[in-house]
Every structure is written in C-alpha cells, then in structure tokens.
Amino acid sequence: NNALYLDGKKALEGIDSTKDPAFLSSFGGNAYVFYRGDGALLKHVRNGSTFSAGTSWIRSALGFPKDTATSLAIDGKVWMGTTGGRIIVFSQGTRFPFTVKGLTEQFTGAVIVYTTADLQRVYVLEASKNRLVVLNKDGTYVASYFAPELGTSTGILISTDESTAYFPSGSVVYSINLK
C-alpha cells in the first residue's frame, strides 16, 4: 500500500504507483498528486491529520502529452511545465490561457515552473539554457539570470521576499540574488 506520511503518521493513502505519480504539491491545506500514467491531477482534502481519497481536479483536456510534464506549482491556479518548454495553466480545473510575452528567446527545452500564492511572479528554470526566467503572472517577461550551475539543477525555490533564488546542482545548493 502506497501512502504519504505526515509527522510519522499515515496521512494520505492510495497513491497508485502503477499510474506513475510524478508530482506532489499543496495549496490551501489540501494535497495534489499529478499522475503521468493517466494525466490525472487528484485533489486530496485535508481532514485533521489525514487527507481524503483523491478526486479528479482537471476537468478539461490536458493540452499536452501527459508524459512530458516536468513540474507542478499551485498558487490558486495550477502551473505545469513540460519537456518541450511549454507552460500550461489551469484555473478551477480547466485550461487557462497563458502566453509568455516579451521573452526574446522562447523556451524550447524542459522547464520547471515555480510559484506560490505568496509570490508575485512565476519563476521558470530552463536547465538546457542555463537560465532562470522571471515572469509576471500574466506572462510578461521581467528578467533572466544565467549561471552554468543552472544547467544541472533539478529544481528551484524562491525566498518569500523574492530576492533570492535557490537551486540544487549535484550535492550543492546555489543561490542567485534577484533584482
């Protein structure tokens, strides 16, 4: 039986490993699991120290091959990156139009998208180009940061005041000061 444990206690049961659970995120006290196997995003409602059985959250077509998903971020909307450089956004379970504006060199490699409800911006790691791109949540380009270490990074974390980006590369966590 596959389960998620919280504070040493079984909190979320029924994670189906045969459907390739790829990403786990939280928002509003609830847990969300994206399954690459069937392209489902399940919402698990928190009930004290446990979570409910998952219910399907996405109510429209994914709009991309499910096995190309690279990341999941939730800020009220659901943000997903893909191996082909696309950023897919869902709002209330359906696709939400999102276009990157003002970026001179578009995303072409795998992107990892990061944001939270507390952040004003969306951060996009494109390791194949050694870059971190900052966007407003409406898709408007803000800035790009380049570092060779970004090329081997597998994720990003942004400080709550949005002044610093942290990213792991191998066994080291690097940081970039954001303007």
Q: Collapse the DSSP code of 128 into the 3-class scheme (helix H, G, I; strand E, B; otherwise coil) and give the result.
A: helix
Q: Collapse the DSSP code of 146 into the 3-class scheme (helix H, G, I; strand E, B; otherwise coil) and give the result.
A: strand
- Fill in the DSSP letter of residue 53: P
Note down pLDDT in tens along the chain; length 179 residues.
566 676 676 667 767 777 888 888 989 999 899 988 889 999 989 888 888 888 999 988 888 888 999 999 999 999 999 999 999 999 999 999 999 999 999 999 999 999 999 999 999 999 999 999 999 999 999 999 999 999 999 999 999 999 999 999 989 999 999 97
Q: Collapse the DSSP code of 179 into the 3-class scheme (helix H, G, I; strand E, B; otherwise coil) and give the result.
A: coil
What does pTM read for this prediction?
0.90
CB 178 within 8 A of CB 166: no
CB atoms closer than 10 angstroms to residue 174: 15
